[in-house]
Each structure stands twice: as C-alpha cells, then as structure tokens.
Amino acid sequence: MRPEILFPLFAPISTLKGVGPKVAPLVEKLAGPLVRDVLFLKPHSLVHRKPSSFLSLVDGEVATLSVVVNDHQRPRAANQPWRIRVVDGESGFVTITFFKGHGPHLERQHPVGAKRIVSGKVERFNDSWNIVHPDYFVDIARADEVPELEAIYPATAGLPARTVRKLAHEALERAPDLAEWQDPAWLARERWPGWREALEHLHNPRDDADIALLGPARRRLAFDELLAHQLALAQRKAARKAEAAPAILAGPMADRLEAALPWKLTGAQIRALSEIRGDLQAGERMSRLLQGDVGSGKTVVCTLAIADVLDAGRQAALMAPTEILARQHFETIAPMLEAQGVRVVLLTGRDKGGVRAEKLMALMDGTAGVAVGTHALFQDEVKFRGLSLAVIDEQHRFGVNERKRLTDKGDGVHLLAMSATPIPRTLELTVFGDLDVSRIDEKPPGRTPVATAAVPSPRLPQVIDRLKKAVAEGAQAFWICPLVAESDELDVMAAETRAAELRLTMGSQVGLVHGQMSGAEKDEVMAAFAEGRLPVLVATTVVEVGVNVPNATIMVIEHADRFGLAQLHQLRGRVGRGRRESACLLIYDPPLGDIAEQRLDILRKTDDGFEIAEKDLELRGGGDPLGLKQSGFPAYRLADPAAHRELIAVAADDARLILARDPTLTGERGQKVRLLQELFDWRPGAQGD
Ligand code: ADP
Ligand code: MG
C-alpha cells in the first residue's frame, strides 16, 4: 500500500493546471503519467537573462534588453517574416524577426513607441543585430516575468520548454517534506541538501551548480535513486537465496563430456564452473551471471552444469533471444548430451502441431532432459517434470518477467544468466546487483587477434575489391549494416541496397539476412553461411552476438561511428575464432570527430571487452556511452550511471548494511527507506524473480 503522504505525487498528470486531454499525452510522452514523473524531470541548462546593454551584445548569446518599438516591417511576400525594429535611445537598434503565423496582431500588441523587454539569442547578420523569435517580448511593466535565471527543460513538439518548467514548478509545490532516509553523517560529510531542498535547487536554480550533474543537489537525488535500486536488487537476491532448492552435486556425466572435448577447458572456464557448482550444491537457489566476451566459451561451461543437473535426475532449460542462437546452441549441445543418452528438444516459435505436441509431452513426462529454445520456452503450455536449472543466454534481451516465467516452471529453479555485454566493473552493480558474477576473462588459446582498421566511406570501392579477392581465396565475411533510420523498413532497405550492390560483382555469393524475414528464411541463409556455401552475409544487426561461424574471417561494419563500442566489440568478436588471420573494417563517414576517433582507436588497440568498456566510459563520461540502454540497463531518472559511478558502490554497500540490520525494513530507518523505494517504484517484488 502506498503511504498517503505520497498521494499528491502519484496523482495523474491531468491534475496539474493546464494539462487537459490535448496536453496530457505530450506530458506523458516527455515525463510519464504521474505528477512524480514531472517532478523528476530535470533542467539541462541554465539561461542567464540579466539585463544587457546594446554595447555589449555578443553574437550567439542570450541578451535581455530594455527597448522601444521603432517600426514594423511587414512582409512583402507570404513566405517572408514579420520584422520589428526596436531601439534603446542612442546606441543602436535590433531587429526582431517572426516567421510565419505571426501577423498584423504583432503591430497591435507592440505599437510603435511602446516600451518592451526583449530577451533571446542575438545574432549578427547583415551588419545588424537580430533576435529571431525572442524567448520573451513583454511590456516593460511586466519585466518581472522575465526570470534572471531560467532553467531550460527538455521539450517536445507541441510542449515548449517553458510550459514544462511551469508544470515542474507545480509538481514541486505538491512535493511533501519527507523524513530523511539517508544517513545523517553521510549527508553532512557530502554537504548534501535534504530531498525536498535538493528538488528546490533543481527547479529554482540560483547558479549552475544547482543543476549540474555533479552539483550537490543532483548528486543527492542520484544517490537516492541508486540506493532505492540497490535495495531492491539486494532484496531480490536475498529472496531468491531464501528459497530452498535441490542440492545438485557434480556428477560423472560432466566428467565424461569434458573428457570427450577436443581441447582443455581454460583456467577461467574451470573457475566459473566450480563457482556454479558451489551454488548448485548449496541447497539454496542459485542466481549467477556468467559473464564473458564473445567467444570466451560460455556454452561448454553451462553444458557441464546442465550435465550435473541431469545426473541428479532433474531437467534443464536453455533459453536464447533469437531463433538463430537457439538453433546454434541446440546444434552444439544436443550431440554432446545425446551421446550420453539424454534427449534434448529444440522449441521455437516455429514448432507447430504434432511435432510440437510431442516435444511438449517429452518435457512433461521427463523423457526429454533438456529444452533449448527461444521465447517459446516460457509459454504456459510448456511444462516440465522436474526443472531445476534455467540458463538464459544474453539475459538482458529478456524482460525480468520473461525470465521469471521460465524459472517459475519448477520449484527452486537455479538461475544461470549469461551475458557477453562487457560492462565496466564500476557499473556492474547497477545491472547485476542481484546476481553473483562469474567472469570468463581468458580466451581459449589459439586465437589470432583481429586486425582492426577504420576506413573512411569513400574508400568503400577498395574494400569491396579486397573482399572479392579474399572470397576468391575461400574467405567468408560478415557485412553489417547498422540501425540508422528511425524505421525498420528503411534499415532493411539500406541492407538490401548494399546486398544488391555487392551482388553486381559477386553475384550469388552474397546473402542477406534481416529482421523482417521469417524465421525459416533467416535460418536458411544463416545455415548456408555457417556451412560455408555462402561466402558473404550482409546483415542488419539481427545477426546476433554469439552466432558462431569459425570460418568467417572478415567483418565489415558500415557506419561504425553510430554503434556503441560494446556492440562493435561484440560484432568483431564473431571473426577471429579460428587460427586464420581475421580483419575487421570499421567504415565511417568522414570527418570523424575527435571523440569518435579516439573511440575507434580503443578498438584498434585492445581486444579485451572489459577494458574497452571501461575506457569508453572514461572517454565519454556521461550519457549512454556504451549503448547500455539496449543492454538492459536500468533507465534512471536522476542518476547518470557514468557521471555518478562512484556513488554506485556506496549505494550498494549502504543497501547491504540497511538490510543486514533490518531485513524486513520495519525499523525506523527501514520505514523511511521504504518511502524512498516507493518514490522510485523500486520496491521488492515490483520487478523481481
Ligand atoms: P561464447 O558463448 O562465450 O561466445 P562459445 O561457447 O560459443 O563462446 O565458444 C566459442 C568457440 O570456442 C566454440 O567454437 C567453442 O567450441 C570454442 N571453445 C570453447 N572453449 C574452448 C577451449 N577451452 N579451448 C578451445 N576452444 C574452446
Ligand atoms: Mg554464446
């Protein structure tokens, strides 16, 4: 139950003044459906509107002038603007320009001789000063309507920043005083304001520090949010651990499988496996993440864990986000396990009718020990006789509820999540705070580093020449066309155009796979590529991370500058899997900005995903440098995971401490902290499995 004191903040936005049925959808799009969401909007910059003089105007800066209307210059044609010349006595004049939609009423509103305050960006052109569409143009009697300092909010079409500011102020008025949930000593040490005071600073800034990402107000609010999140993660983890689960011991099947491998496990694989086994034996539910670069060999580790589960007479499921990946896992795992007398079934959205019914029956009666599949696995009709382990590959591609639907198919189902997204250690807690992490930080031996080069797009013809030669010598290549356009269709067109162009010289050696093809079509092209029948595969980013085609040695990535580094690294990871020399060509449209150049440079210098992620974070410092939003990263409202990264670990420690002292959050601080969680919707169970 939400505490009454928060009701005003959890009222719908329509209760704000001026938010009628027309405006509400815009506000909802920008902020969210609740007053709370508007309260948590933050200004991105400050405009200083201190009165300026005509003599001190600076091109491109905001000025605020006290003026007299001198004359109106009506447009001579319909497409011309309406101009008003204003003067300040002796020193000169400024031309104020209004484009279409502003007609003769301007003349009535601002008659010649009227005294006005005008504020806006001044620009110098045609040897005179101009303000196009001033922010303010008001009667001098209403000068106090022009704030000296104005916080600029994000806006959206139809909802100007100034309206957003009004709404934020109204939301602020509704914000109650809440009992302090932070540790007073910590607050004092950081010299942070209280919660409501911090919001005051944010919405009524007196200086730049009030809204700065690293200013006290914003850091305080960021810490609140991080703490609320870390608490929820810690609670979720504790709840999972509290559930009993069958203890599963290491069995002989895994030994036999390992002995049959054509190579030895790496030290990192052995470590990861023993950590997983430690969890499986503990008698409580495992929640572990197996983190490792593309090609680091996660599949065999999870297969050995699956073998232990099978030896214990239980079942396991392995879920992957795409059909291609699920199929590939199936093709790797099924022969290994079937040699041990275990039936493995593949379940995807394409299974229909009798075949599907038979597979479902086999899982239900236990004749099949392992299910490998896509989203099809967590559907209600899928039932297990004794599911004890759920392995989720590329775990961030699934929603928490989807993962939960799978783990709910048994009692005390152990969870093994896998991810190849290199998350810098500093950010790990925000993504995986509810999981124990095993890292495979060592690649299988015998890999040759991928030669990586950044190539300006005008040199594409040479790239194509080189590709042709390589293909003639038996090489295989991926050619990735990124998500550029707003719409799938346009991206698909870009890929189709590229494929068509390559086919002009290479004909049927070029295949195409994209997100709008049916599963069967995609599989067919992928299979042809994987079996070496198709030398060149043009793809949108549907070719998911993890697809394994050891013979592919060339990776061409168009518009490389538009990808996150993590993604580029993962794409590159799909070549260089064999002993042969591989190359990755990052195509970009020149000129390349400074930061973009340094980023591509990182990729050229190292092949370590974690190092790449960490460096990229350092380099960009803010925003979403790694493209983490696509990697299941939480969408924080006030915290910026990069800029506030040093607060993350503190919040995690604090969360652990709070829960250790007061696991049910019923003590004095616990109750206050619960209010904090409510405020951010991060209460236990709200997104838990
Ligand atoms: P990931 O899922 O981590 O991206 P995979 O499990 O697909 O990586 O492994 C990539 C390739 O490396 C596979 O072909 C696999 O057979 C091979 N491999 C895995 N472990 C080893 C090892 N210890 N030594 C040699 N090759 C290995
Ligand atoms: Mg994999």
Confidence label for 689 from pLDDT (cuts 50, 70 and 90):
very low
- Nearest residue CA, atom 13 of ligand 1? 297
Task: Supply the pLDDT for residue 595.
Answer: 76
Bridging pattern class, strands 287-292 and 136-139: unpaired
Atom of ligand 1 nearest to the CA of 332: 16
- The residue whose two tokens read 């991370």 is 545
Task: Determine contact, residues 180/187, Cβ cutoff 8 Å.
Answer: yes
Cα 688 to ligand 1 centroid, rounded to whole Å: 32
- How far CA 341 is from CA of 311, 337, 344, 368, 376, in Å, comes to 11, 7, 10, 10, 25
- Which residues pair with residue 667 across a beta bridge? none
- The residue whose two tokens read 């005083």 is 177
Task: Determine contact, residues 503/511, Cβ cutoff 8 Å.
Answer: no
Task: Supply the pLDDT for residue 398.
Answer: 85
Can you give the C-alpha Rg of the chain in angstroms?
A: 30
- Nearest residue CA, atom 19 of ligand 1? 297
- Which residues pair with residue 391 across a beta bridge? 318, 416
Judged by its nearest atom, the ligand closest to the C-alpha of residue 318 is 2
The Cα angle at residue 346 between residues 341 and 350, in degrees rounded to 5:
155
Atom of ligand 1 nearest to the CA of 296: 3
Task: Supply the pLDDT for residue 90.
Answer: 67
Cα 294 to ligand 2 centroid, rounded to whole Å: 7
Atom of ligand 1 nearest to the CA of 393: 2
Q: What is the DSSP string of 285-328?
A: --EEEEEE-TTS-HHHHHHHHHHHHHHTT-EEEEE-SSHHHHHH
Which residue among 269, 299, 610 is best mutated to probe the pocket of ligand 1, counting the most ligand atoms within 8 A of its Cβ?
Answer: 299
Task: Supply the pLDDT for residue 101.
Answer: 66
- 36-45, 446-455, 589-598: least confidently modelled range: 589-598
Cα 296 to ligand 1 centroid, rounded to whole Å: 6
For residue 193, say if its preceding peptide bond is cis, omega within 30 degrees of 0: no
Give mean pLDDT, residues 380-401. Answer: 91
DSSP 323: H
Strand, coil or helix: what is 344? strand
Q: Which of 336, 315, 328 is nearest to 391 (CA)?
A: 315
Confidence label for 686 from pLDDT (cuts 50, 70 and 90):
very low
Give mean pLDDT, residues 648-674. Answer: 93
Atom of ligand 1 nearest to the CA of 298: 3
- The residue whose two tokens read 């998500």 is 483
Judged by its nearest atom, the ligand closest to the C-alpha of residue 333 is 1
Cα 446 to ligand 2 centroid, rounded to whole Å: 18
Task: Determine contact, residues 94/34, Cβ cutoff 8 Å.
Answer: no
Give mean pLDDT, residues 20-39. Answer: 94
The share of the chain scoring above pLDDT 70, in percent, equals 94
Is it the case that residue 607 has pLDDT exceeding 70? Answer: yes
The more confidently predicted of residues 14 and 641 is: 14
- 424-428, 444-448, 675-679: least confidently modelled range: 424-428
C-alpha–C-alpha distance, residues 13 and 38, integer Å: 8
C-alpha–C-alpha distance, residues 201 and 296, integer Å: 48
The Cα angle at residue 560 between residues 558 and 565, in degrees rounded to 5:
145
C-alpha–C-alpha distance, residues 122 and 120, integer Å: 6
- Structure-block tokens of residue 514: 């994209």
- Nearest residue CA, atom 5 of ligand 1? 297
Give mean pLDDT, residues 644-654. Answer: 92
Q: Which of 643, 669, 642 is nearest to 655 (CA)?
A: 669
C-alpha–C-alpha distance, residues 68 and 625, integer Å: 48
Cα 520 to ligand 2 centroid, rounded to whole Å: 21
Is it the case that residue 541 has pLDDT exceeding 90? Answer: no
Task: Supply the pLDDT for residue 253.
Answer: 98
Q: Specify whether the backbone of 20 is left (phi greater than 0), alpha (psi in -120 to 50) or beta.
A: beta
The more confidently predicted of residues 516 and 339 is: 339
Task: Supply the pLDDT for residue 422.
Answer: 75
Judged by its nearest atom, the ligand closest to the C-alpha of residue 548 is 1
C-alpha–C-alpha distance, residues 102 and 652, integer Å: 55
C-alpha–C-alpha distance, residues 429 and 436, integer Å: 10
Span 113-168, pLDDT tens digits: 999 999 999 999 888 899 999 999 999 999 988 988 889 999 888 898 889 999 99
C-alpha–C-alpha distance, residues 9 and 3, integer Å: 11
Is it the case that residue 364 has pLDDT exceeding 90? Answer: yes
CA 556 to chain centre: 24
DSSP 12: B
Task: Supply the pLDDT for residue 214.
Answer: 94
Largest CA distance in the chain: 97
The separation between the first and the last C-alpha atoms of the chain, rounded to the nearest angstrom, is 20
Give mean pLDDT, residues 607-611. Answer: 83
Burial letters 73-112, b for 16+ CB under 10 A, else e:
eeeeeeeeebbbbbbbeeeebbbbbbeeeeeeebeeebee
Note the pTM of the prediction, 2 decimals: 0.75
The more confidently predicted of residues 8 and 79 is: 8
Q: What is the DSSP string of 468-504?
A: HHHHHTT-EEEEE----SSSHHHHHHHHHHHHHHHHH
The share of the chain scoring above pLDDT 90, in percent, equals 62
Task: Tell whether the torsion through CA atoms of 663, 666, 667 and 672 is positive or negative.
Answer: positive
C-alpha–C-alpha distance, residues 232 and 683, integer Å: 6
Using CB distances shorter than 6 Å, the residues near ligand 1 are 263, 265-266, 269, 292, 294-300, 420, 444, 546, 548, 577
Strand, coil or helix: what is 506? helix
Task: Supply the pLDDT for residue 484.
Answer: 57
- Nearest residue CA, atom 2 of ligand 1? 298
| Domains in the chain: ranges and CATH | 4-46+155-212 (no CATH), 50-146 (2.40.50.140), 252-440 (3.40.50.300), 450-606 (3.40.50.300)
C-alpha–C-alpha distance, residues 661 and 99, integer Å: 64
Confidence label for 502 from pLDDT (cuts 50, 70 and 90):
very high
- Nearest residue CA, atom 15 of ligand 1? 297
Give mean pLDDT, residues 559-570. Answer: 82
Confidence label for 580 from pLDDT (cuts 50, 70 and 90):
confident
